[in-house]
Amino acid sequence: MKKVIIQISLAVILFFGLWFSLAQVNWVKIFDVEKNIDKTEQKLGNLFWKFFKNSEKENTNIQTTKTIDSIVNHLCNANKIDRKKIKVHILLKDEINAFALPNGHLIIYSGLVLNADSQEELAGVICHEIAHIELKHVMRKLIRETGISLLISITTGNGNLEVIKETAKLLSSAAFSRELEKEADMKAVDYLLNAKVNPAPFADFLYKLSEINPTIPEYLTWVSSHPESKERAKYVVEYSKQKDADYKTIISTKTWEELKNNLKE
């Protein structure tokens, strides 16, 4: 019996010892795991963007692009986020929605801009989506919802259009998990504060949209896909109260009005 116990102990030590020793090697770097995941993310991002580009109408007004770019540039610079990583696209659609795609693609619908009462509200939503990108929530959501095998099959060209369509729909209209949403909200407030943008309007925006009783619910995708908006508005206010900052506007009121007018046309 003693012999068996010694042998079992030895086997266990051998197994765990070998595992522990091998775990000290940076296999992730050796096998270029990150690079391969990045490549997959890149392919998926381009594929989904292509899908939205072909199915929706993209903004062609240079002035509108420049104004949105200045907001995004300001937010990225203030938070040391690589601006090249965030690829902003404005789509002309009445839906109040903005969402992130893999590989840093950020889609903003004109409906969202038109329904924002101030540039701070829009900046808040943009920060929330940038937070999802920076915190790598997009790929996590995709893997959780669809599985990596399906994602790989899409990138290798085996995914049919229906699969791409369904996955794209998932990205544009389904919320992240409650914890991920909260994490993105908190990060968004940090981004806003670093950029000296008042986060209160972001909370107001959440609250305001949750109060609207929409006649056409699908126009309120951003809020309907982000449940518990009131609760979120509350913790955004609570969190931002703890921080003091001098607030500034990113663009002038005139430019903001011009942006809305351009999108209305």
Position 179 contacts another protein (CB under 8 A)? no
Q: Which is nearer to another protein, 16 or 257 (CB)?
A: 16
Contact status, residue 117 vs residue 150, Cβ threshold 8 Å: no
Please, which of residues 109-148 interact with another protein by CB under 8 A?
140-141, 143-144, 147-148
- Which two three-digit tokens encode residue 256? 């903001």
**Number of residues written out for the chain:** 265
Q: Is 98 helix (H, G, I), strand (E, B) or coil?
A: strand
Please, which of residues 30-59 interact with another protein by CB under 8 A?
31, 33, 37
* CA distances, 256 to each of 124, 215, 228 (Å): 15, 27, 29
The helix (H) or strand (E) run that includes residue 139 is helix 137-146
Position 13 contacts another protein (CB under 8 A)? no
Number of chain residues interacting with another protein (CB under 8 A):
28
Q: How far is the CB of 26 from another protein (least distance, A)?
A: 6
Q: Which is nearer to another protein, 21 or 215 (CB)?
A: 21
Closest CA to 168 of 56, 90, 36, 93: 56
Position 1 contacts another protein (CB under 8 A)? yes
Q: Where are any strands of DSSP class E within 92-232?
A: 98-101, 105-109
d(CA 74, CA 249) in angstroms, rounded, equals 10
**Which of these ranges, 2-10, 57-65, 104-112, 222-230, lies near another protein under the rule CB under 8 A?**
2-10
Position 8 contacts another protein (CB under 8 A)? yes
**Which of these ranges, 11-19, 57-65, 87-95, 105-113, lies near another protein under the rule CB under 8 A?**
11-19
- Which two three-digit tokens encode residue 221? 């995708």
Position 11 contacts another protein (CB under 8 A)? yes
Q: How far is the CB of 147 from another protein (least distance, A)?
A: 4
Q: Which is nearer to another protein, 4 or 161 (CB)?
A: 4
Position 77 contacts another protein (CB under 8 A)? no
Does the CA dihedral 16-17-18-20 come out positive or negative? positive
Position 25 contacts another protein (CB under 8 A)? yes
d(CA 108, CA 99) in angstroms, rounded, equals 7
Q: How far is the CB of 100 from another protein (least distance, A)?
A: 16
d(CA 81, CA 93) in angstroms, rounded, equals 28
Position 23 contacts another protein (CB under 8 A)? yes
d(CA 36, CA 94) in angstroms, rounded, equals 37
Among residues 54, 60, 149, 213, the one that binds another protein under rule CB under 8 A: 149
Interacting residues of 121 by C-beta distance below 8 A, sequence separation 6+:
201, 202, 204, 205
Position 26 contacts another protein (CB under 8 A)? yes
Position 24 contacts another protein (CB under 8 A)? yes
For residue 121, the tally of other CB atoms under 10 A from its CB is: 23
> By the criterion CB under 8 A, which residues form the site for another protein?
1, 3-4, 7-8, 10-11, 15, 18-20, 22-28, 31, 33, 37, 140-141, 143-144, 147-149
